[in-house]
């Protein structure tokens, strides 16, 4: 078993760190809001520290799941950042969805301290984190990945290295691009069914068994029809991710017309006051705006 530090106890990080503790690892947690760290320790045992550097001291692996590029920089290289407390040969595994550019920046900063850095963004939402069934897409050195894979397994349904530093983040962009189009397509199908006077649930029960079926259809259509949009990943975070996708597409010369359009639809949802609604709220936009 490994000595692990976990930085960031949000809706994803809190249960992920819990799976590590249940797997028998020695876990020390850090969270910007100390009350969450206190609650985690009360539930799972282990220890908490007041800074990333203190949490990372003596750890074999440091896992992070924070908000954005700036948050990652802060927990890695900011004042009292984790890299300052990590020993040579240890591994930093970042589960945040961030730009490939900041990932490579942190990879270089870690390497300068003889620390390995793996970018390992996740997919599966809050339910996946709670059930220990996340998809983890990784980039970084093969040797470091091989060491980290067994620890990540505590909360992963699948974990795979896709290439060098940044490859994990690039793969997560593919994930978000695919989801954007799928959710809009499902929203339009349900909207059309309602406009045509069809029973939306009956329609989905039939079409989900054929080529139209998807995870989004199976897991979100009922809550969409019931006008419930508090099930997981928020629109504000999706727009953050799609901004990364669209910016990177310009850099690599990829064309993302559907993604760009759906990003604007999510902007409409934000204007409706739905920034904290989940991503399936594209259907609510169609119901109210058309």
State the catalytic residues. Answer: 172
Measured in degrees and rounded to the nearest 5, phi and psi for residue 82 equal -60, -35
**What span, in angstroms and rounded, lies between the C-alpha atoms of 226 and 202?**
14
189 three-state secondary structure: helix
Q: By the 8 A CB rule, do 36 and 14 touch?
A: yes
* Residues with Cβ within 8 Å of residue 121, at least 6 apart in sequence: 94, 95, 96, 97, 98, 136, 137, 168, 169, 171, 172
Contacting residues for 178 by C-beta, under 8 A, at least 6 apart:
none
Q: Residue 247: name the closest of 176, 147, 158, 146 by CA.
A: 176
Distance CA 243, CA 196 (A): 35
What is the C-alpha to C-alpha distance for residues 162 and 138, in angstroms, rounded to an integer? Answer: 6
Question: Would you say 242 and 180 are in contact if contact means Cβ atoms under 8 Å apart?
Answer: yes
Q: What is the CB-side half-sphere exposure of residue 1 using CA atoms within 13 A?
A: 10
41 vs 16: CA distance, rounded Å? 13
Pair of tokens at residue 209: 């068994």
């Amino acid at each position: 078993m490994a000595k692990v530090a976990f930085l960031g106890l949000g809706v994803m990080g809190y249960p992920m760190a819990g799976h590590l503790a249940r797997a028998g690892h020695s876990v020390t947690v850090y969270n910007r809001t100390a009350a969450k760290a206190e609650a985690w320790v009360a539930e799972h045992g282990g220890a908490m520290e007041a800074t990333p550097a203190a949490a990372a001291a003596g750890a074999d692996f440091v896992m992070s799941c924070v908000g954005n590029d700036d948050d990652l920089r802060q927990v890695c290289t900011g004042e009292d950042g984790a890299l300052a407390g990590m020993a040579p040969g240890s591994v930093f595994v970042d589960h945040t969805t961030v730009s490939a550019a900041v990932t490579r920046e942190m990879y270089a900063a870690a390497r300068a301290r003889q620390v390995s850095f793996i970018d390992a963004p996740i997919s599966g939402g809050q339910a996946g984190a709670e059930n220990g069934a996340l998809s983890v897409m990784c980039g970084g050195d093969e040797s470091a990945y091989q060491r980290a894979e067994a620890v990540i397994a505590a909360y992963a349904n699948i974990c795979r290295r896709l290439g060098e530093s940044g490859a994990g983040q690039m793969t997560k962009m593919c994930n978000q691009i695919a989801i954007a189009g799928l959710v809009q397509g499902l929203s339009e199908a349900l909207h059309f069914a309602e406009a045509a006077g069809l029973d939306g649930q009956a329609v989905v029960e039939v079409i989900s068994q054929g080529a139209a079926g998807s995870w989004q259809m199976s897991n979100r259509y009922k809550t969409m029809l019931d006008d419930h949009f508090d099930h997981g990943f928020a629109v504000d975070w999706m727009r953050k991710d799609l901004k990364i996708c669209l910016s990177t597409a310009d850099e690599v010369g990829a064309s993302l017309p559907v993604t760009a359009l759906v990003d604007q639809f999510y902007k409409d949802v934000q204007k409706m006051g739905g920034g904290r609604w989940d991503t399936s709220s594209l259907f609510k936009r169609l119901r109210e705006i058309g």
